[in-house]
């Protein structure tokens, strides 16, 4: 097995684990809200899980490159120059998905959970866009909503649907989910770029012979 094939196999298994983690993390706030409130489309923990950064960006968009990387390892049906080239090209989609996951996670972490942004606790004001990202500066990205004792105004405690325990739960889930998705996006970006390079090297330099050709 050449180093190109070995690294391609490692990339494939790594991306498989990351995409599964991304899907699970994205589903956590949706499931938690369903368990807490018995409502699936109302009162979400935040706005940004509905942009599916883990399910679409870190999940679905990573599947083609993952399958090709696993198929292009030693003695598989795609273990040739074409397979290496395809594994490289498909990882461009992985990079795009990873960047999308990272951007949504960054905006989610900067703005905090929905309970800290509006007393109405409605997703009507949720909007993810590149324009919104331009308003996020390093000095505003201090996670004050997470480290402060409470992000609710005093009038917020009069609302029966909002209390300190639910706020604390939402803040922890929001922080854990989107920090995890940000790390997953970064790792997928690194694995994607590495496979783009390794795939092109495998295409140019060739791969080892299949066992059926040796026997």
Decide: helix, strand or coil at residue 111. helix
How does pLDDT run across 162-199, given as a tens digit for each residue? 455 677 888 889 899 999 999 999 999 999 999 999 88
Domain ranges of the chain: 3-210
For residue 131, what pLDDT is reported?
Answer: 62
CA–CA gap between residue 104 and residue 137 (Å, rounded): 15
Element housing 6 (H / E): helix 3-37
Place of tokens 């409470």: 150
Closest to 68 (Cα-Cα) out of 87, 82, 81, 85: 87
With 0-12 CB in 10 A as exposed, 13-18 as middle and 19+ as buried, what is 114? buried
Specify the pLDDT at position 181. 97
Confidence grade of residue 51 (pLDDT, cut at 50, 70, 90): confident
The rounded percent of the chain whose pLDDT value lies above 90 is 33
Maximum average pLDDT range among 70-74, 113-117, 177-181: 177-181
User: How many alpha carbons lie under 13 Å from residue 51 in its C-beta half-sphere?
Assistant: 22
Length of the chain in residues, anyone?
215
Tens-place pLDDT, residues 136-161:
555 555 666 676 666 665 554 444 44
């Amino acid at each position: 097995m050449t180093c190109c094939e070995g690294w391609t196999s490692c990339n494939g298994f790594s991306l498989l684990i990351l995409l599964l983690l991304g899907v699970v993390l994205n589903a956590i706030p949706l499931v938690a809200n369903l368990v807490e409130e018995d409502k699936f489309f109302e009162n979400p923990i935040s706005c940004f899980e509905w942009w599916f950064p883990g399910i679409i960006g870190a999940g679905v968009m990573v599947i083609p490159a993952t399958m090709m990387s696993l198929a292009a390892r030693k003695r598989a049906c795609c273990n040739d120059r074409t397979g290496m080239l395809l594994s490289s090209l498909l990882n461009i989609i992985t990079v795009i998905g990873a960047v999308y996951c990272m951007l949504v996670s960054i905006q989610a972490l900067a703005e905090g959970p929905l309970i800290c942004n509006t007393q109405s606790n409605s997703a009507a004001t949720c909007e993810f866009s590149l324009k919104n990202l331009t308003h996020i500066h390093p000095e505003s990205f201090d996670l004050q909503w997470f480290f402060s004792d409470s992000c609710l105004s005093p009038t917020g405690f009069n609302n029966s649907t909002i209390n300190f325990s639910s706020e604390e739960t939402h803040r922890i889930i929001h922080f854990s989910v989107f920090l995890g998705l940000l790390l997953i996006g970064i790792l997928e970006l690194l694995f994607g770029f590495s496979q783009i390079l390794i795939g092109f090297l495998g295409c140019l330099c060739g791969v080892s012979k299949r066992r059926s050709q040796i026997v």
